[in-house]
Structure formats: structure tokens, C-alpha cells
Amino acid sequence: MIIVRTPLRVSLFGGGTDFKEFYSRELGEVISFTIDKSIYVTVNKKFDGKVHLRYSKTEVCSDAQELKHDLVRECLKYVGITSGIEIVTVSDVPAIGTGLGSSSCLTVGLLKALFAYVKKDISNAEIAEIACEIEIDRLGAKIGKQDQYACALGGLNYLLFNKDGRVEKKLLCEGCIGSILDNLFLFYIPTGRKSSSILKIHNRNIKDNMKILELHKAFVNIFLTKYAIAELTLEGIGDLLNKSWEIKKKTSPATNDVVEQAMLLVKEHGGLGAKVCGAGGGGFLLAVSNKEEQLTTVMEQNGFRRLDFKYFPRGSEIIYRSEL
């Protein structure tokens, strides 16, 4: 049996520049960090020779290619496993529409578990690239490449997306952002939206919105400049989040009445800035505030439950392995 834990990620700045339609024209840049909320994947040999898959549903079949779960089916196909395996997935947060990169997190974690299962040594960076191939090239998902790399590599990520498709991670001093992370909060907006429909529109509009996406990239550079000289402040982060959110609303249908209600509450009750993670439209709202108790009380009274989290410095990892 093998159990893999893969952390979810929070994207701060630069989202959208990790799409091929952008980085094929100019360098994409994203700032993100991983948190101590994860997706767990367990794989085990199955005596009856069938494929057993358990997530929010249960699937049992004779051949892996009969599975209805697209990501699991394609990962098994890539690794070359057809039968005789049991796969169980468990998530710390809702599996769909969180804005925390859950789909790519699952893909990365499953691939790491499967490669370990067949005793093939492969780096997390390689796993991230394979996850991109499966999700984007094979399954046609209208997504970028930041989630796969952030979840696989973990920590505070400054990711660069080159024209040839190569992804680089630049190291940042994690200690310099500790006080900032202590004042970042996540609140769940239960709208049940699927990011895929929003991302399709975003992807379709990238060519027309290059200048707007360049502003997202500019926020990355402002962050890095302030970071390098230790001048990051809560007010500065809040201002950048507010500006990036206003821009996001111009490139895709990222908002709705429920989201706007949550944003207004943050603004009126101690928030210095906020945005909805991921594609928008629902999922987790990221807020920066120095009035934790006040903001948390008001948000939860209005149905926006807080997710307590801590910074997690590691990427996808095997946390249990026994002889198969």
C-alpha cells in the first residue's frame, strides 16, 4: 500500500499568464504558496484483479479504460496499469470548485502514487509536466500550468512559464512572508460553480486581453520588488489583491451576487483586500486583514465559513509505503 499527500495551493498574483496562449507570446509569471490542506491518494494491489476506484463515487471494472473518471483513467493509461489495483482519494476540502487547484492536485498525487506503485523513480517536476500533458493535451482542459507545478513542488512558488513550455521555479526566502501569511484568511463561498466553464471563456479571450494579463504579471513584479527589500506590508498586499480582482472581473465572468456580497463584507469589516481564488465565481475567497476576529465573526454569520490553514513548505510526498 502507498499513501501520497499533495498540498493544495493559493495563487496570489499572475494567474492567467500560465496559459499557453499567453506564455507562447511572452514570459508568464505566477506567485503562489501551498497550504496544509491536501488531497490524499491511496493505491493498493487488488486480489480479484479488478480496478476499484473510490472518490465521491465508487467504480469497479475489469479494465482501467472502462473508468468514467477521466483523470484517473488517463493516469493509469500513462503509467501502464490496466487492472488489479485499488485507488482511494480523500480531500480536506470540497473536491470541485474550490479555486485551490484541487483537480491538478489530484492528478499530481495520483501520478506520484502510481509511479511508486510500479517502482519507477521520477522527480516531482517531471510529475508536474506529465500532469500538464494529461490534463491539457490529452483531456483538453482549458487550464494553465501553475497548479500542477505548485502542488508538486510545494512551498512559496515564483514560477516562470517560458515560450517553449519550460517551467522554472525561483527560490524565495520563506521567512520574509511569515507575518503576511498570518494575516491571510480563506472563506468558502458555496456557489457550487465549476471552474471549467469560466476558464473556457477566459481561455477564449486571452488574445484580446493580453494587455490586461500583462497587468497581472506586473503585480508579480511589484510583489517581488517589495519582497526583495523587505517592504511588503499588509496594506500593500491588500491593495494588490483588490486591483488583481478588479482586473480578473474584466477577463472572465468571475463574479456574481453572492461573491459581491462576500467582497462587500470583507471591505466593511476589517479587510484590507480580497479576491476569489482560482477562476472565480465561487470557491474560496482570500482576504488580508489585521482584524481577524471581527472579520471571521461577520463572514461566518453570513454563511461564509472560514478555512483555518497554515503555510506548508513541501510538495507532493509519500507518507506511507508498505511492501506490495
Give the C-alpha separation, 3 to 69, whole Å.
20
Give, for all 324 residues of the chain, the pLDDT tens digit. 999 999 999 999 999 999 999 999 999 999 999 999 999 999 999 999 999 999 999 999 999 999 999 999 999 999 999 999 999 999 999 877 899 999 999 999 999 999 999 999 999 999 999 999 999 999 999 999 999 999 999 999 999 999 999 999 987 877 777 778 889 999 999 875 554 554 454 455 566 678 888 999 999 999 998 886 677 889 999 999 999 998 888 766 668 899 999 999 999 999 999 999 987 678 999 999 999 999 999 999 999 999 999 999 999 999 999 975
Cell of 133: 500533458
C-alpha cell belonging to residue 188 = 468558502
Of 47, 46, 120, 106, nearest to 75 by C-alpha is 106
What does 278-307 look like in DSSP terms, one character per residue? TTSSSEEEEEEES-HHHHHHHHHHTT--EE
**Residue 318 CB-half CA count within 13 A:** 18
CA distance 230 to 259: 33
Helix (H, G, I), strand (E, B) or coil at 180: helix
Domains 2-174+312-321 and 176-307 share a fold: no
CA–CA gap between residue 153 and residue 105 (Å, rounded):
11
CATH 3.30.230.10 fits 2-174+312-321, yes or no: yes
DSSP string for residues in 186-228: EEEE-----HHHHHHHHHHHTGGGHHHHHHHHHHHHHHHHHHH
The total of other beta-carbon atoms located within 10 Å of residue 52's CB is 16
Q: Identify which of 299, 220, 291, 294 has the alpha carbon closest to the alpha carbon of residue 261.
A: 299
Cell output for 198: 469560466
Measured in whole angstroms, the distance separating CA 229 from the mean position of its chain's CA atoms is 28
Nearest of 241, 243, 257, 268 to residue 186 by alpha carbon: 241
Distance from the Cα of residue 274 to its chain's centroid: 17
**pLDDT, tens only, 230-254:** 778 899 999 999 999 988 887 666 6
- What's the pTM? 0.93
Q: Which one of 3.30.365.10, 3.40.630.40, 3.30.70.890, 3.30.1280.10 gives the CATH number of domain 176-307?
A: 3.30.70.890
Strand extents, DSSP E, the chain? 2-13, 28-45, 51-54, 58-61, 85-91, 156-161, 167-170, 184-189, 271-276, 283-289, 306-307, 317-321
Domain locations in the chain as residue ranges: 2-174+312-321, 176-307
CA distance 2 to 116: 8
